[in-house]
């Protein structure tokens, strides 16, 4: 019996040693796997941080969208040259409402027609052609024709400007060298959006802060009281003439109004006209 008890104790000790050995092996395996994961993560992070190719970033984003959001292509009719979406394909991803012409004779007593905001499948052909047609229309009705050449790069800027102008209080800063066509593109985009251009004559000698405030007041009245969509076009030379001009523009863009621009009686008249306009809009929407 004593020998049997000793054998049982030995077997129990052996089992404990085996269990300890298995635990040690499991710990070693876990340590090795953790080290491998850390190395792989370092490799992935380094490959991502060192990646300077825009095409690779686009492909990674495309894989994430396809896996998590189940989005492979928002428009299956578009046929890229290869399965991988490149920067070349993204440059030709263009949206806008300019493909639909404006209503030439809108009825003020009827709701305005909504131009569809759609994707242009062939921007190199369709978009350039449509903007060329708009340029011809602009030159036919304006005394100062625009003499610009339209190509894909110009249509990209026109598409961006059109997207800005379709939003209330939309504004854009056009950066570039002199003579690069910034004002011409802005005028064409405003024309194709059905918005008149408003400018100030700040080049005259007697043009000061009072004249500037009067012009700014007229623009705000046309946009608010008269419910007219207008484009206020300012050049860098006009803004740099007086630092207070730039301050008023910043205030207008940030808060939608310039403090002290309107006298109390003028503000009351604008509010009354805006209230009547609101009632009219509600009736049109209920038709």
pTM of the model: 0.67
Contact 208, 243 (CB under 8 A): no
Q: What's the whole-number mean pLDDT along residues 12-30?
A: 54
Q: Rounded distance, CA 155 to CA 127, Å?
A: 7
159-185 tens-digit pLDDT:
999 999 988 888 999 988 888 899 999
Q: Check residues 278 and 37 and name the one with the higher pLDDT.
A: 278
At 139 the three-state DSSP class reads helix
pLDDT confidence of residue 183? 93
Tell me what the mean pLDDT of segment 149-156 comes to.
Answer: 91
Residue 243's pLDDT is: 87
Q: Nearest 5 degrees, angle CA 109-CA 232-CA 234?
A: 170
**DSSP code of residue 149:** -
Q: Say which residue, 111 or 186, is predicted with more confidence.
A: 186
Distance CA 87, CA 95 (A): 16
Q: Is residue 99 pLDDT above 90, yes or no?
A: no
Cα 211 to Cα 142, 198, 203, 206, 234: the distances in Å are: 26, 15, 12, 9, 15
CA distance 73 to 48: 24
Residue-wise pLDDT for 187-213, tens only, equals: 999 999 999 999 988 777 788 889 999
Which pLDDT does position 214 carry in this prediction?
Answer: 92
Let me know: does 264 contact 256? Beta carbons within 8 Å: no
Q: Residue 19: is its pLDDT beyond 70?
A: no
Q: ∠ at Cα 114 (112, 116), nearest 5°?
A: 165
Q: Which two tokens stand for residue 113?
A: 């027609």
Read off φ and ψ for residue 139, nearest 5 degrees: -70, -20
Least confident of 24-38, 91-105, 229-243: 24-38
Tell me what pLDDT residue 191 has: 94
Statement: residue 158 has pLDDT above 50: yes
Percent pLDDT > 70 in the chain is 67
Mean pLDDT of 111-118: 74
Task: Return the pLDDT at 45.
Answer: 43
Determine the average pLDDT of the residues in 244-267: 88
pLDDT at 108: 61
pLDDT of residue 47: 41
pLDDT at 87 over 90: no
Predicted pLDDT at 51: 45
- Domains for the chain: give ranges and CATH numbers: 84-102+111-192 (no CATH), 196-287 (3.40.50.300)
Output phi, psi for 96, to 5 deg: 175, 170
């Amino acid at each position: 019996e004593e020998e049997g008890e000793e054998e049982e104790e030995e077997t129990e000790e052996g089992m404990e040693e085996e269990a300890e050995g298995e635990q040690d092996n499991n710990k070693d395996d876990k340590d090795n796997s953790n080290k491998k994961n850390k190395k792989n993560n370092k490799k992935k992070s380094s490959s991502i941080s060192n990646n300077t190719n825009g095409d690779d970033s686009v492909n990674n984003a495309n894989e994430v969208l396809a896996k998590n959001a189940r989005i492979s292509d928002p428009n299956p009719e578009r046929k890229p040259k290869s399965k991988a979406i490149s920067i070349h394909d993204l440059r030709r991803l263009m949206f806008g409402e300019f493909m639909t012409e404006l209503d030439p004779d809108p009825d003020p007593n009827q709701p305005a027609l909504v131009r569809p905001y759609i994707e242009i499948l062939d921007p190199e052909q369709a978009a350039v052609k449509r903007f060329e047609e708009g340029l011809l229309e602009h030159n036919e009705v304006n005394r100062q024709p625009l003499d610009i050449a339209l190509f894909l790069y110009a249509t990209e800027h026109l598409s961006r400007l059109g997207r800005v102008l379709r939003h209330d209080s939309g504004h854009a800063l056009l950066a570039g060298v002199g003579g690069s066509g910034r004002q011409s593109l802005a005028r064409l985009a405003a024309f194709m959006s059905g918005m008149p251009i408003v400018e100030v004559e700040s080049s005259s000698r007697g043009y000061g802060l009072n004249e500037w405030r009067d012009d700014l007041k007229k623009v705000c009245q046309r946009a608010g009281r008269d419910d007219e969509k207008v484009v206020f076009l300012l050049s860098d030379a006009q803004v740099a003439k007086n630092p207070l001009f730039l301050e008023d523009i910043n205030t207008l863009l940030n808060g939608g109004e310039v403090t002290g621009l309107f006298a109390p009686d003028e503000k009351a008249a604008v509010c009354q006209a805006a209230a009547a306009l609101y009632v009219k809009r509600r009736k049109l929407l209920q038709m």
